[in-house]
Chains A and B, each alone.
Chain A
Amino acid sequence: MGGLALGGFIAWRRHERPVASAAEVKRRHESRLMKMRGVVGVGIGQKDGKEIIRIYVEKESPRILADLPQALDSVPVEIVVAGTFKAL
């Protein structure tokens, strides 16, 4: 019985792609994202109890938004218009 249950678990894992944590995905992609036009920051937020990647952009411009992904390695992305960050 135990072996069967374990087999079932392995089969289930094979169909679902393993989802990396938001922190891991952020680390993988942030240097590339930070070089994109209009991107001022990358962070992690929460939506419906799940961690998501946040991309902070300078302004709401179609030219900036068009280049941004909707998800990264199956972690959803939320775009937040943040303006430009300056030392206060």
Chain B
Amino acid sequence: MTSTEDAKAICECQLLGLEREGMEATSNPNVVGVGIGRKTVRGVATKDVALKVYVKQKIHPLLVRDEQVIPDEIEGVPTDVEEAGEFSIWRPIPPIYQRKVRPAMGGISIGHYAITAGTLACLVRDAGETFILSNNHVLANENRGAEGDPILQPGRFDGGKTDRDVIGRLDTFVAVDPAGTNLVDGALAKPFDERDVTPDIIGIGRLRGTKEAVLDEKVMKSGRTTRKTEGTVMDVSATLRVGYQTGSYVFTDQMIIKGERGAFSAGGDSGSTIVAYDGNAVGLLFAGSPFFTIANKMSHVEKALDVQIV
């Protein structure tokens, strides 16, 4: 055993209370760990190896009780006291995107009570009334929902329950047509209380309005699963076949987006508003493949549901 390791063993016994032959174990309530590392002087690591003593809080030696002062060296090995705080296991706290939030905003988890979870796009207005916008397959369970069905925030997959997390009721949806072609996978929910919703989108802010995206335009979205991501529009007039739980449907005049770094979206991001860098909404995300994301054009969504973005 080297002298450094020997000194460490002494420290473990005298500061952390570990058993050691021929030595009385004592512990120092401020010490959370002992190790071997570089000595740091005024925040800069030096070449010298030291016995590291990690403490909850670094206190001036004059204020520390005599028996708790950490000696400058142990067995000839210099010590270095470093403030580490209290160590704890990383408890997974769900991100805001998947939690219950009131007022609820764009980018957050939402869904019909029978589905897993999707994303709240934004708020829309029709004749002074405010609605929550998302996809048909998020709010209306692929045509299977009925007007008045409870809408949960967060969605069921994120712990949403029908007895305490119902934010509103299913109002209208554009039915997806298995035989013909489709333009929009969209639906509206009516919040019980308008104070439970806000027009902001997490990490993006308020929308300025709606516009048409152009090829190569940079866009972003905020969604339940992959949160805020950036991408580029690579097609604005695509005809595509999209697989759903209930079958496969053809969509025309869609936009295709390629992620800037990695995927632009994943399962659960359906319903995200696609936003251009000037703050205008350009699309409503609803599908994707491992390589690309597909969105309805927001102009089609507004027309099909007869609403305006707030």
Using Cβ atoms and an 8 Å threshold, which residues of chain A touch B290? 83
Known: A34-B250, A43-B256. A85 touches B239 (CB 8 A): no
Number of A-B contacts (CB under 8 A): 86
12 A–B pairs (Cβ distance < 8 Å), ordered by A: A26-B239, A40-B241, A43-B235, A44-B235, A54-B235, A83-B292, A84-B243, A85-B242, A87-B137, A87-B243, A88-B286, A88-B287
Q: Which residues of B contact A56 (CB under 8 A)?
A: 238, 240, 256
Does more than half of chain A's interface fall in helix, strand or loop, or is it mixed? strand
A60 to B243, CA, bound (A): 19
Q: Check: B285 CB closer than 8 A to any chain A CB.
A: yes
B contact residues, total (Cβ < 8 Å)? 37
User: Do B292 and A82 have beta carbons less than 8 Å apart?
Assistant: yes
B288 cross-chain contacts in A, Cβ below 8 A: 85-86, 88
Known: A85-B294, A88-B267, A88-B286. Is A42-B239 also a contact (CB below 8 A)? yes
9 additional A-B pairs beyond A85-B243, A87-B270, beta carbons within 8 Å, are A23-B237, A26-B237, A41-B241, A43-B256, A45-B215, A46-B216, A82-B292, A85-B287, A87-B244
CA distance A84 to B294 in the complex (A): 12
Q: B106: CB under 8 A from chain A?
A: no
Shortest Cβ distance from A88 into B: residue: B270
What 3 A-B pairs come out closest when comparing CB atoms?
A43-B238, A83-B289, A41-B240
Which residues of A have CB within 8 Å of B216? 46
Interface size class of A (residues with CB under 8 A): 20 to 34
B108 close to A (CB within 8 Å): no
Q: Which residue of B lies closest to A39 (CB)?
A: B241
Chain A residues whose C-beta falls within 8 Å of the C-beta of B238 in the assembled complex:
41-44, 54, 56
Measured CB to CB, the closest approach of chain B to A11, in angstroms, equals 34
